[in-house]
Amino acid sequence: MDNLLEVHDLCKSFHTDSGGLGGASRRLQAVDQVSFTLRKGETLGLVGESGCGKSTTGRLILRLLEADSGKVLFQGQDVLQLSQRQMRPLRREIQMIFQDPYSSLNPRMKVGDIIGEPLQIHGLARGSQLKEEVIRLMGTVGLTEEHYHRYPHEFSGGQRQRIGIARALAVRPSLIIADEPVSALDLSIQAQVVNLLQDIQKDFGLTYLFIAHDLSVIEHISDRVAVMYLGRIVELANAEELYRAPRHPYSEALLNAVPIPDPARKRTHIPLKGEVPSALNPPSGCHFHPRCPYAKEICNTQRPPLEDQGNGHLAACHFSDEVGQFGTF
Ligand code: SF4
């Protein structure tokens, strides 16, 4: 399968105020040598706790933020080297769906105009053709023509996310970066929106980077999953394999937090110690070592490389062979 997107060694840091009088600014490494590929038509789930750098990664790809270093190849073209003018056609090809649809929709615009705006900006439709296309898109995402003249505040959270999806679809993108698109929604609505995203993926031949903070949301939509911890990818594998046999203790801990609906299956909790450390002062060596039940001395000083453990299953752990000894299920 061809790669639509390749991300190589992407890095981004932010400078923050130390807060003290005359204090020097400090560096927060939000994204630290992140690499992955995205094949045409697949969904890669990018998962990790809040602040791990997953949303920043999405924004760097679209250049809503500028990366410090690395490469982002979209259809072979390095996005980070393009001028703003050269970026324009790419902004049509790569669309983003946001977590909070309300803040990403202009409250003073009617829904029909919100969905039609990108079509106008890119010169794809106007006049009666524009309206027809907008109504067609509204139908695709489960809205009706009578919603055309309404304002965003008249809709529920799930409906507003449908408006966001229709707007993203309008310009016929090939890649959608969905940044926690269902996190703000009730559980029952989450499933509806995920199903909608799966349906339109088939119908429109879309590729997804699906960002989420827990593994349960992306289980059914992801072909592969990448797990991030404090700015780094710590595991990347075929979804089925990662859920069945994780090779990194942090993925194992995230999986243990996913509720199992079947009472006959039980998970043994791994003792995940301590709090998430501050990204301003990350632990040395393997960032996960202060919380890791498998940690040994080497983990305090040496960063484990992200290595193929077989079958394209990547994990960054010195002792990945031992993962599972505490019993995942
Ligand atoms: Fe745990 Fe060491 Fe593996 Fe890091 S490298 S996840 S501390 S066992």
Is residue 295 lining ligand 1, measured as CB closer than 6 Å? Answer: yes
Cβ of 304 less than 6 Å from ligand 1: yes
Ligand 1 in reach of 291 Cβ (< 6 A): no
Q: Is the pLDDT of residue 15 over 70?
A: yes
Q: Is the CB of 234 within 6 Å of ligand 1?
A: no
Cα(320) to centroid of ligand 1, in Å?
Answer: 8
* pLDDT given at position 328: 45
Integer CA distances (angstroms), 325 to 214, 241, 286, in order: 23, 17, 20
8-state DSSP, 82: -
Minimum mean pLDDT range among 103-107, 119-123, 143-147, 298-302: 103-107
Say how many Å lie between the CA of residue 210 and the centre of ligand 1: 26
User: Ligand 1 in contact with 36 (CB < 6 A)?
Assistant: no
User: What does the pLDDT read at residue 326?
Assistant: 60
The response to whether residue 249 sits with its C-beta less than 6 Å from ligand 1 reads: yes
At residue 184, the pLDDT reads 84
Question: Between these two residues, 103 and 142, which has the higher pLDDT value?
Answer: 142
Q: Is the pLDDT of residue 207 over 90?
A: yes
CATH of segment(s) 3-15+28-222 = 3.40.50.300
Mean per-residue pLDDT, 242-253: 94
Please state which of the ranges 89-98, 259-268, 320-329 shows the lowest mean pLDDT.
259-268
Indicate the angle between helix axes 157-169 and 187-204, nearest 10 degrees: 10
Which amino acid type is present at position 301? T
DSSP letter at 161?
H
Q: Give me ligand 1 centre to Cα 234, in Å.
A: 10
pLDDT value of position 269: 52
- Determine if ligand 1 sits within 6 Å of the CB of residue 289: yes
Pairing of strands 224-229, 43-47: parallel
Q: Domain locations in the chain?
A: 3-15+28-222, 250-329
Which atom of ligand 1 has the smallest separation from the CA of 299?
A: 2
**What's the distance, Cα to Cα, between the start and end of the chain in Å?**
34
Q: Is 270 in the pocket of ligand 1 (CB under 6 A)?
A: no
Nearest residue (CA) to ligand 1, atom 7 = 289
User: Does pLDDT of 27 surpass 60?
Assistant: yes
Nearest alpha carbon to residue 79 among 68, 69, 71, 88: 71
For residue 84, the SS3 value is helix
Percent of the chain, pLDDT > 70? 92
Q: Give residue-wise pLDDT tens across range 105-141.
A: 899 999 999 999 999 999 999 889 999 999 999 999 9
CA angle 145, 149, 155 (to 5 degrees): 85
Of all atoms in ligand 1, which is nearest to the CA of residue 248? 6
* Least confident interval from 90-94, 150-154, 279-283: 279-283
